[in-house]
Structure 1
């Protein structure tokens, strides 16, 4: 029987996956900063260090900021195996406490709906935020965008488009949201998890955008009952965002009102259409799980039978 967890234990279970990622990011950034500092200082002689200290500090800062994206992707890659380990530990915990739920598999081609939904949401969301004027009151958003979208298309596509979405989905949907579901209803867990996901992004524009996206991530997860759904959604949205930012492929729609509004309305219509299709044509039914003893390995079941019937061993 599962013991009742204290509130401290519950909170710790919810936050330590994210803290792991933050901790790895911090360590990676510190190591990089120290290396950059030593390599920068090594280029100056002792006489010029004091006279040019301000210039040296600015140079170190610029060099550190120039590799911000690389450091984030590296930290994500280092954290990924730990998150997979946490996720597997949760699955074993579910088996131990009889919380295993199995569902029928959704046909692979229906995941195309999730990818299209991700791209439509990205375009509609960014255009609607632009209309709202939130970009103008969030200075930190511009600073973060300059750091992340620095013209490194391949790295951005792979790092921001694939690796970071996998890591964030494991933290927020695979671990945090699933654990919240042990303590609260789906609706409450979805809102709380999405609020945390919004605050995690650190600025008003991305916070609102991330909150709304997170609700959709959780929606597709609950419809498909697979982590592949929110990961694919997240990756599709991020890849489109990278391509639009770095290639200027949609610059033409922002030059006048008619194409801009036409694109925004079309993106919103596609978004609504994909949600309708997923709601009506994606069905993942729950499969009855065998009794706990039937799901155990043969040697464990035999040991339990021996304990229950000691006379059989005589």
Structure 2
């Protein structure tokens, strides 16, 4: 008999994200150290050969070398983030499959899957949301008011195009969706209504992005990701939406699409209205999907569990 069910439930919903963040931290720290290893000899040589006569000069030299090492790590920051993200997959994949197995074993109702052709609506929604939110960020000057956002963008877009598309467009969306929708949202959904589960998982998702602009962007995106998961009844839905949004941003940035929009205020306004219209149409179409849970035959003792998940 479980003498402390509250503690067990706490670790069920909070334990995964704590482990996820710990793995990311350890993996990114180790990857950063690996990046520095080939250059440590050069740094040490500069320190040994430097002609310093005072403690102040020695301190200044140390700070310069420290800054050089930080710049080196920032140069490979996208790759480091991707490696750290990949290191979380064993945890999230195990939890994801364990939760789906638990649903089957306990005959827990799950939302029926939408027809494959409806995934076209997700593509339209993802592109419209990405472009529209970026236009709003520019029009409201939020994007230019955040130094952290500008620094983050500079680091991300300084990587080579293949690295950007692979790491930022595919790997990171996959690993984030496994944790924040595949595990956290679904576990919160077990014990609360949709909006509460979507809100809790989205706040955690947004907090991982580090600055106000990305927090606001990922907050809206996170709610939509949870919503399409609920409506489509499949992990493929939020994964596709996340990849489309990230890829749209990467393509328009690297091809000069966003720079073209910034050229005239009228272009921003027209594009914002167009994206709002297209996004609204896609949202309404998705809203009409019947996600009524499939209720499999189950033993009588599992009836209370069925009621909990309605």
TM-score normalised by length of structure 1: 0.84
Q: Which segment drifts farther, 17-26 or 110-119?
A: 17-26
Structure 2 match to 1:75: 84
SS at match of 2:14: helix
Counterpart CA distance in 1 for 2:203 and 2:143 is 20
CA positional deviation for 1:145: 1.4
Q: Is 1:261 aligned to 2:260, yes or no?
A: no
TM-aligned CA deviation for residue 151 of structure 1? 4.1
Q: Take 2:152 and 2:10, find their aligned partners in 1: how far apart are those partners? A: 29
- Does 236-245 or 71-80 show the bigger shift? 71-80
Identify the residue that residue 55 of structure 2 maps to in structure 1. Answer: none
Deviations 1:179-206 (A, max 9, x none): 1112211121122222222222121111
> CA separation in 1, counterparts of 2:206 and 2:86?
22
Q: Give yes or no for the alignment of 1:169 onto 2:187.
A: no
| Superposition deviation, residue 108 in structure 1 | 1.3
Q: Residue 12 of structure 2 corresponds to which residue in structure 1?
A: 13
Change (3 A) 1:117 1:162: same
Q: Which residue of 2 aligns with 1:22?
A: 21
For the structure 1 residues 227 and 38, does the alpha-carbon distance in structure 2 shift closer, same or farther, using more than 3 Å as the test? closer
Match of 1:42 in 2: 41
Unpaired segments ≥5 residues, structure 2 = 53-60, 301-310
Secondary structure, in 3 states, of the residue corresponding to 1:42? Answer: helix
The question of whether the paired residues in 2 share the 8 Å contact of 1:102 and 1:289 is answered with no
1:268-292 per-position Cα deviation (integer Å, ceiling 9, x unaligned): 1100010111123x33443331225
Give the unaligned 5+ runs of structure 1. 294-314
Cα separation, 1, equivalents of 2:252 and 2:231: 29
SS at 2:210 equivalent: coil
Residue of structure 1 aligned with 2:215, choices 207, 221, 244: 207
Task: Give the greater-gyration-radius structure (CA).
Answer: 1
Q: 1:102 to 1:269 in 2, by over 3 A?
A: closer
- Structure 1 CA distance for aligned equivalents of residues 278 and 37 of structure 2: 52
Superposed displacement of residue 234, structure 1: 0.6
Q: Which range moved further: 14-23 or 179-188?
A: 14-23
1:139-178, aligned counterparts within 5 Å? 139-178=147-186
Given the alignment of the two structures, is residue 62 of structure 1 paired with residue 71 of structure 2, yes or no?
yes
Q: Give 1:40 shift.
A: 2.4
Task: Kindly state the Cα deviation for residue 61 of structure 1 after the two structures are TM-superposed.
Answer: 1.1
Contact 1:121/1:267 (8 A) holds in 2: yes
Residues 83, 171 of structure 1: 8 Å contact kept: yes
In structure 2, relative to structure 1, the CA distance for the partners of 1:134 and 1:152 (3 Å cut) is same
Aligned length: 290
